[in-house]
Chain A
Amino acid sequence: DGGITQSPKYLFRKEGQNVTLSCEQNLNHDAMYWYRQDPGQGLRLIYYSQIVNDFQKGDIAEGYSVSREKKESFPLTVTSAQKNPTAFYLCASSIRVDYNSPLHFGNGTRLTVT
């Protein structure tokens, strides 16, 4: 079955450590996205990538970094510079960055930093 795989489902880290969240898709989509979800708030866009080796900052990119070396993979690194990293992180993909291309979401990674 085609889809988006995010791993792990739960992740625990100590403050001051960088952590990388995995996102893999086998939908052959060009565009990939990372969103952050906090209780009582909507999703906020961290980074997105329209094509391999290209990515743009979203609304809350500070303290995060990404890479897009392969079409199917878009890992997100939460750095120690991110002031409030505990959240639910969602990866998504679409055929292209276009409203006629609906977003397909993974099941998310819940990151807890103590």
Chain B
Amino acid sequence: AQSVTQPDIHITVSEGASLELRCNYSYGATPYLFWYVQSPGQGLQLLLKYFSGDTLVQGIKGFEAEFKRSQSSFNLRKPSVHWSDAAEYFCAVGSNDYKLSFGAGTTVTVRA
């Protein structure tokens, strides 16, 4: 079975600074990888996904993620954070039977 680890429970970043959220996955085959964002009290919104091809994927809201097979990682980045990026971020990995496993999430706080 697949699993996801997000090592950072909480990250605080200054507005305008860069952000990187870590995600490590465990899955025997080629993974389907996703990043979702959740604002307080809301559902999740898909930021980006990776299935195959170019290992650097672009998403919405200026986010990008890089798939590194050798490190089993799919880290999310944003060059310059805005106050509206304060939220909880979830990495997820999908298996061949279309079941998603989510990480525990990383909460991002943006300070002025």
Contacts and interface: CB of A to CB of B under 8 A. Distances in A.
15 contacts: A40-B104, A40-B105, A42-B4, A42-B90, A43-B90, A43-B100, A45-B100, A58-B99, A90-B44, A98-B98, A99-B32, A103-B44, A107-B42, A108-B41, A110-B41
A92 interface: yes
The range of chain A's interface size is 20 to 34
B49 A102 contact: yes
A97 B41 CA distance: 26
Interface in A72-108: 90, 92, 97-99, 102-108
Counting chain B residues whose Cβ lies within 8 A of the other chain, the interface size class is 20 to 34
Given A44-B102, A103-B46, 6 more contacts: A9-B41, A42-B101, A99-B32, A99-B98, A102-B49, A103-B44
